A and B are shown apart, each in its own frame.
Chain A
Amino acid sequence: MSANVNQNACVVIVGAGHAGGSVAAFLRQYGHEGRIVLIGDEPLLPYQRPPLSKAWLKGEADADSLSLKPADWYAENNVMLRLGGVAERINRSDKTVTLASGEVIPYDFLVLATGARARELPIPGSDLAGVLALRTAADAEQLKNALGPDKRLAVVGGGYVGLEAAASARALGSHAMVIERESRVLARVACETLSHFFQDYHGKHGVAFELNAGVAAFEGRDGHVTGVRFADGRVVACDVALVGVGAVPNDELAKDAGLSTVNGVVVDLEARTDDPSIFAIGDVTHRPLPLYDRQFRLESVPNALEQAKQAASAILGRPGPPPETPWFWSDQYDLKLQIAGLPFDADRQVVRGDVAAAKFAVFHLKGDLVQAVEAVNAPPEFMAGKQLIAKRTPVDANKLADPSVSMKEVAA
């Protein structure tokens, strides 16, 4: 019934996160009938990570709602699971994967969806109980258990994970302090207008900030964290510390197998590595961004889904999915932040709307082309901006800056 090639090929997926779970689902949806083996080092079925720092942390979502597919989906769709399985080695010459358990699994196609891990701080006290990262459901469970009324959370790193966790901690009645090495939060991932806006908003909700602050050590007693010591010697007390200083790709397996890696596994627009039988998808990849004429590593669900579709399509010889504009979202308090594109090569910013009213967007232009838009409680700006980025349609910056001109008209 299907014209798919490789319909009966054996596909082995290493990594059972959002990307790994999705590529299995897309393969079946596209008519693949061969063996699929899904290997994940966590003991859990594929689940969504974004809610871990948001709805889940606040107790507004449960394990069921986090899961990508119900448990019986895998058996019904003949997806063999190796949960708690650690892939130790790829043997490219005989096309097998060796697990730490000793099991050797043969593949026709291999999909690496190994994701990224939280970057660690190489400072004294990092191994104390109560010094946490937030990447997995187990991490989130630990953090959730440590929060509650009047608990003191110290967040090291003012990125999205840290700010979302601080907002959730406040909602749970905990105190929160965000410690950032740079002079502003979100320094690597957002423009200054946004940084200042978010810091202000968090401040109004009772979050304390220490900027330009180096962290020298975590202090502890009886093996449990009791505080954060700054480089200048001051100590701030805490009951729990969250380290959110970025992520590093889990690309060692690929590197050891001789695949090309540059801050992630290098892939093409079919998500294929330099071995035609091996694909890589999601946070672990260093992928082409045709819109910006460069290779980059993205950490986002839409990216994982796009590449899962690319890999499943390429394996089955189907046309690939339409190109996606990179996009991201974050929920903090009553703020919905939606970002489309990346501000590469932008030469000016246009602010539209009212920052003080928490309803605005910052457009990043390169000449008269929109490279990126950061929208706070401004869905029309996000949606229209995303389309403008994809279509490379020139815009009139004066109209863009004028909220009395609708986004439909700006984008027309």
Chain B
Amino acid sequence: MAKITYIQHDGAEQVIDVKPGLTVMEGAVKNNVPGIDADCGGACACATCHVYVDEAWLDKTGDKSAMEESMLDFAENVEPNSRLSCQIKVSDALDGLIVRLPESQH
């Protein structure tokens, strides 16, 4: 299990044990963490699972695909550390990961 901290826009935190192999998005949706909508269920088709990856974890979460990059390009309030959480696969190396959620996904 990897412990992932999801921090809401208002500062509320939830720490969730996520099974390696799932995505950071699935870790949230399946554990009732609000704020990640994931309308397309992880197909990288909707950009409603936007998160900000804590700077310390940017290297470990890997690179964005061209598809993810261009989806994010048109999302709201995008920052350099923005990711689509359905594209981050959880592994033991991500134990301790911290992600922050935007105010809204729509």
B13 close to chain A: CB less than 8 A: no
B47 close to chain A: CB less than 8 A: yes
Bound form: Cα–Cα A324–B105 in Å: 12
With a cutoff of 8 Å between Cβ atoms, the chain A residues found around residue B34 in the complex are 29
Report whether B67 and A73 are in contact in the complex, using a CB–CB cutoff of 8 Å: no
Report whether A302 and B39 are in contact in the complex, using a CB–CB cutoff of 8 Å: yes
Q: A368-412 interface mask toward B, CB cutoff 8 Å, 1 = contact, 0 = none? A: 000000000001100110010000000000000000000110000
Bound form: Cα–Cα A271–B77 in Å: 30
Nearest chain-B residue to A327 (Cβ)? Answer: B46
Report whether A302 and B71 are in contact in the complex, using a CB–CB cutoff of 8 Å: no
Bound form: Cα–Cα A408–B70 in Å: 11
With a cutoff of 8 Å between Cβ atoms, the chain B residues found around residue A50 in the complex are 40-41, 43
Report whether B67 and A322 are in contact in the complex, using a CB–CB cutoff of 8 Å: no
With a cutoff of 8 Å between Cβ atoms, the chain A residues found around residue B44 in the complex are 336
- Chain B interface residue number, banded: 20 to 34
Bound form: Cα–Cα A120–B10 in Å: 50
Report whether B47 and A70 are in contact in the complex, using a CB–CB cutoff of 8 Å: no
With a cutoff of 8 Å between Cβ atoms, the chain A residues found around residue B31 in the complex are 70
Number of chain A residues whose Cβ lies closer than 8 Å to a Cβ of chain B: 29
With a cutoff of 8 Å between Cβ atoms, the chain B residues found around residue A387 in the complex are 74
Name the residue among A73, A329, A336, A384 with the largest chain B CB count within 10 angstroms: A329
Nearest chain-B residue to A383 (Cβ)? Answer: B74
A69 close to chain B: CB less than 8 A: yes
With a cutoff of 8 Å between Cβ atoms, the chain A residues found around residue B40 in the complex are 50, 301-302, 329
Bound form: Cα–Cα A301–B48 in Å: 13
Where the two chains meet, the residues of B that have a C-beta atom closer than 8 Å to any C-beta of A are 22, 26, 29-32, 34, 37, 39-41, 43-47, 67, 70-71, 73-75, 106
A305 close to chain B: CB less than 8 A: yes
Report whether A380 and B73 are in contact in the complex, using a CB–CB cutoff of 8 Å: yes
A186-225 contacts to B, CB under 8 A, are none
Which residue of B30, B46, B73 is within 8 Å of A302 (Cβ)?
Answer: B46
Nearest chain-A residue to B71 (Cβ)? Answer: A379
A263 close to chain B: CB less than 8 A: no
Q: Is the interface of B mostly helix, strand, loop or mixed?
A: loop
Report whether A329 and B45 are in contact in the complex, using a CB–CB cutoff of 8 Å: yes
Report whether A380 and B74 are in contact in the complex, using a CB–CB cutoff of 8 Å: yes
CB distance from A382 to the nearest CB of B (A): 8
CB distance from A307 to the nearest CB of B (A): 13
Which residue of A321, A383, A408 is within 8 Å of B71 (Cβ)?
Answer: A383
Bound form: Cα–Cα A324–B48 in Å: 12
A65 close to chain B: CB less than 8 A: yes
With a cutoff of 8 Å between Cβ atoms, the chain A residues found around residue B73 in the complex are 379-380, 383, 408
Contact of A322 with B43 at beta-carbon distance under 8 Å, contacts A69-B32, A379-B67, A380-B74 already known: no
Bound form: Cα–Cα A48–B41 in Å: 8
A51 close to chain B: CB less than 8 A: yes
Given contacts A50-B40, A70-B31, A387-B74, 12 further A-B contacts (CB under 8 A): A65-B22, A69-B29, A69-B30, A301-B39, A327-B46, A336-B45, A338-B45, A379-B71, A379-B73, A379-B74, A380-B70, A380-B74
With a cutoff of 8 Å between Cβ atoms, the chain B residues found around residue A324 in the complex are 106
Can you report 15 residue pairs joining A to B where beta carbons are below 8 Å apart?
A29-B32, A29-B34, A50-B43, A65-B22, A69-B29, A69-B32, A70-B30, A301-B40, A305-B37, A321-B106, A336-B67, A379-B67, A379-B73, A383-B70, A387-B74
Bound form: Cα–Cα A327–B71 in Å: 15
Nearest chain-A residue to B76 (Cβ)? Answer: A387
Contact of A51 with B71 at beta-carbon distance under 8 Å, contacts A69-B30, A383-B47 already known: no
Nearest chain-B residue to A377 (Cβ)? Answer: B67
Which residue of B26, B29, B30, B70 is within 8 Å of A379 (Cβ)?
Answer: B70
Bound form: Cα–Cα A324–B37 in Å: 13
Nearest chain-A residue to B70 (Cβ)? Answer: A379
A251 close to chain B: CB less than 8 A: no
A331 close to chain B: CB less than 8 A: yes
With a cutoff of 8 Å between Cβ atoms, the chain B residues found around residue A25 in the complex are 32
Nearest chain-A residue to B42 (Cβ)? Answer: A65
Nearest chain-B residue to A387 (Cβ)? Answer: B74
With a cutoff of 8 Å between Cβ atoms, the chain B residues found around residue A384 in the complex are 74
